[in-house]
Each structure stands twice: as C-alpha cells, then as structure tokens.
Amino acid sequence: MLANLLIGLREGLEATVVVSVLVAFLVKAGRRDRLPALWAGVGAAVATCAAVGLGLALAAKQLTFTAQELLGGTLSIVAVAFVTWMVFWMKRAGRSLAGDLTERMRSAVQLGAPAVALTAALAVGREGLETSVFVTAAVRATGRTAEPLAGAVLGLALAVLLGWLLYRRAVRIDLRRFFAVTGAGLVVVAAGVLAYGVHDLQEARVLPGLTSLAFDVSAQVPPSSWYGVLLKGVLNFSPATTWLEAAAWLAYVVPVLALYLRRAPRPAPVAAPSGATAAP
C-alpha cells in the first residue's frame, strides 16, 4: 500500500501541477472560456488511463498461467522503464516545465477549443499512463489487489488536495526537493518490481534459474507476518530470492540510484573574448 501511495502521490502531484500551470495561464490570459475544453481534455485523459489499467487487469485473468507470468514479467519491465525515464526527465526538465507548458497552451488557444483539450489530455495522459502501468505491475508483484489500489487512490487524492492548496497558495512546498526525494524512493520501488518481473519470466520458463536461490529467509521473515507484508508491499522483497532476481535488483538499483543522486555539474564560466575590458 505504501509503495503505491508513493506512486499515486508523486504521479498525481505531477499531473496536478501540470493542470495548475495550464489553468493559471488561461486565467491570466483572460481566456476562461477555454477552461471547459481544458477540463474535458483532463477528463478524457483520466478515463483513458483508467481504462488501460482495467483492460490490462482483465486481460491477464483470461490467460493461462504461463501467459499470465509472461505478461506480468513483460509489464513489470515496461513499467520500470517508464518510471526510470520519468524520474530522470523530471529531474532534467523540471525547471523549464512551466514555460514549456505555457507556450504549448498559448499556441493551442489560438487554434481553438479542440487544441486546448488535446494539449491538456496529452500533458496529463503521460503521467496517467505511467501510473496505470506501474500500479498494475505493483499490484501483481504484491499478490494483492485491495491494498495496493487503495494506496494508489489515496495517493492520487492527496495529490489533488495538495495541488489545489498550492494553486490557492494555502500551503508552500519545495516541489523540487519533493520530486527529488520521491524520485529516489521510486527507483528503489522500481528495482523491486524489476526483480519480481524477472521472477515472473522465470516461472514462464523464459528465463532460467527458478530453483537456484541466492537466499531463503522465509523462516526469519514469514511472508504472512506484518513485517514480511510490509517489506513485500514497500520493496517487493521476496524471502526466497533467486540469484537472477538478486542480480537484476542490484544491477538496476546501484547504477540508477547513483546516477540519479549525482549532482549535475555547473556550467563552466564563459571566458571573456581576448582584448575585452573587464568590468569595474
């Protein structure tokens, strides 16, 4: 539940910030008449993303066990790729996000209401699709349905509330720090989803080593215990982990987290042209 709450909170707040920027632009530009089109685009994006998540869940139930494991493993890898791209993209483009969105909406307003709706749908839809795929993969990884979905819904609800309070300037949050911390947390969660995806592919007989265990601490960490459930829900920790799962977890989390936490180098000062007079 906690891992999915983090996913819903971060992705939802990103989407809420995007919507707030677009709404603020239309209000400041005196184009409140385009707000219904914007909300229509947001609604269409949310409905599409929910349909994608529901469709993936229903499709999996119609498959054989082997096909389910193959789909689950593939879905986990795709979800990890989405999240990895998202956290690095947000780290790189966060500063210019508001300006880019404003320029897109300015052009859309000139084209008409359909363009406004499409711009809003695309901006929100990217976040929503990532959330749908990742939550679906996380639900499969935990082996539960109600708790992960409840966590994701609660995270999204908190994100909407925080976004509204930020828009009304009722609260102040250092969004840059918030996205940096939650991004690091998502990298760790994604590593667990990747390891579980590898396990799915092993059960589908696509990858070898299903019975080659790196460790088995089921006696010390029973899966049904509260701490076993907590570790499974937050980190997708498996008490009986194969060598390939452990290798995939380490091969992902160590370099990705190191790259993510590394500070971007400051640009070198531009040298003055030869012959130029220094400022007093």
pLDDT tens column, 50-79: 888 888 777 777 778 888 888 888 888 988
Residue-level pLDDT at 279: 41
User: Residue for token digits 């667990």?
Assistant: 192
Residue-level pLDDT at 270: 40
CA pair distance 130, 151, nearest whole angstrom:
16
Residue 257 has pLDDT above 50, yes or no: yes
Residue-level pLDDT at 280: 40
Residue-level pLDDT at 268: 45
Residue-level pLDDT at 271: 43
Domain positions in the chain: 2-261
- CA distances from residue 146 to 128, 136, 160, 222 in whole angstroms, order as listed: 20, 12, 21, 21
Residue-level pLDDT at 9: 79
Confidence band of 263 (pLDDT split at 50, 70, 90): low
pLDDT digits (tens, 9 = 90+) for 168-209: 776 677 777 878 888 888 888 888 889 988 999 999 999 999
pLDDT digits (tens, 9 = 90+) for 121-159: 988 887 788 777 777 776 666 655 666 677 778 878 888
Mean pLDDT over 1-9 rounds to 72
215, β-bridge pairs: 241
Whether the Cβ atoms of residue 55 and residue 132 lie closer than 8 Å to each other: no
Residue-level pLDDT at 267: 43
pLDDT digits (tens, 9 = 90+) for 233-253: 667 778 889 999 999 999 999
Residue 214: both structure tokens together: 């790196």
69, β-bridge pairs: none
Percentage, residues of the chain above pLDDT 90 = 13
CA pair distance 86, 20, nearest whole angstrom:
19
CA pair distance 280, 272, nearest whole angstrom:
14
pLDDT digits (tens, 9 = 90+) for 13-63: 888 888 888 888 888 888 888 899 999 999 999 899 888 888 877 777 777
Please, which residues have CB within 8 angstroms of residue 137's CB and are 6 or more apart in sequence?
Answer: 72, 75, 76, 78, 79, 80, 193, 196, 197
Mean pLDDT over 250-279 rounds to 65
